[in-house]
Copies of this chain bind each other. A is one copy, B any other.
Amino acid sequence: MTIPRYTAIKDHIIRRVDTAHWKAGDRVPSENELAAEFSVSRMTARRALQELGEQGILVRTQGLGSFVADARPMSSMLKIQSIDTEIRARGREHSAEVLTLEQTEADHNTAVLLGLDQGAVIYHSVLLHSENGQPLQYEDRYVNPKFGPDYLAQNFTATTPSSYLSAISPLTKADQTIEAVCVNAEVGNVLQISLNEPCLKLNRRTWCKRGIVTIATLIYPGSRFRLGGHLNF
């Protein structure tokens, strides 16, 4: 089975909503109607409607039916793109300094995050990205050699780790968390900030189809950086 049937039903409904075939407030087919139309069991049709309800695309009411929601929740979140394109998009000059580029062994924590065994060989890099010469991002990254075999041979002043990795194997998904922290003396010194200054810390895991490619910790000085986003309902 390539794609689940409930996904096909969801796609079908979304298409009709997007093309204004079904407008806000319209009733969409009931679970039983969809089940008959797609020749699936009611539970499968139900799952499609239910997930669309959780996504805010439909509003479901017991005894009444499922209706197209009038306000749609946003689909894209904070725009977080490669730091170099980000800087260049602002019309400024991007430069990178390679602080570390080495082969090492995974400690317990890193191994768990990468889905490897403790002590497994992994690649490690630390870079400082600057905007017009002013430090803007401290990038600490671990890479699964399986998905980036030539990682250590790259020149990361010319191309960023993230763009190298995405060129090797297409990235399928990522999860990330954002938190506010204060940095230690070493990182603070590199970023040229005082020790009390709060920073944004972004922890991201990136996957390709066959597994976890890399984990990255990105630190931005709070005084110079803001993450901006746009939401559409």
For the complex formed by this chain, how many copies does it contain in all?
2
Instruction: Answer yes or no: A182 CB below 8 A from chain B CBs.
Output: yes
Bound-complex Cα distance A222 to B178 (A):
9
Q: Does the CB pair A172–B79 fall under 8 Å?
A: no
Given contacts A73-B80, A196-B196, A198-B222, contact A231 B179 (CB under 8 A): no
Q: Does the CB pair A75–B74 fall under 8 Å?
A: no
Bound-complex Cα distance A228 to B74 (A):
16
Instruction: Answer yes or no: A225 CB below 8 A from chain B CBs.
Output: yes
- Which chain B residues lie closer than 8 Å to A80 at the CB level? 73-74, 231
| A174-B230, A178-B228 given; 9 more Cβ-contact pairs under 8 Å | A54-B54, A71-B166, A73-B80, A74-B78, A77-B231, A175-B231, A178-B178, A179-B227, A180-B180
User: What are 24 of the A-B contact pairs (CB < 8 Å)?
Assistant: A25-B112, A54-B54, A70-B170, A71-B166, A71-B170, A71-B171, A73-B79, A77-B77, A77-B229, A80-B231, A170-B233, A172-B233, A175-B229, A176-B231, A178-B200, A178-B226, A178-B228, A178-B229, A180-B180, A180-B181, A180-B222, A196-B196, A198-B199, A200-B200
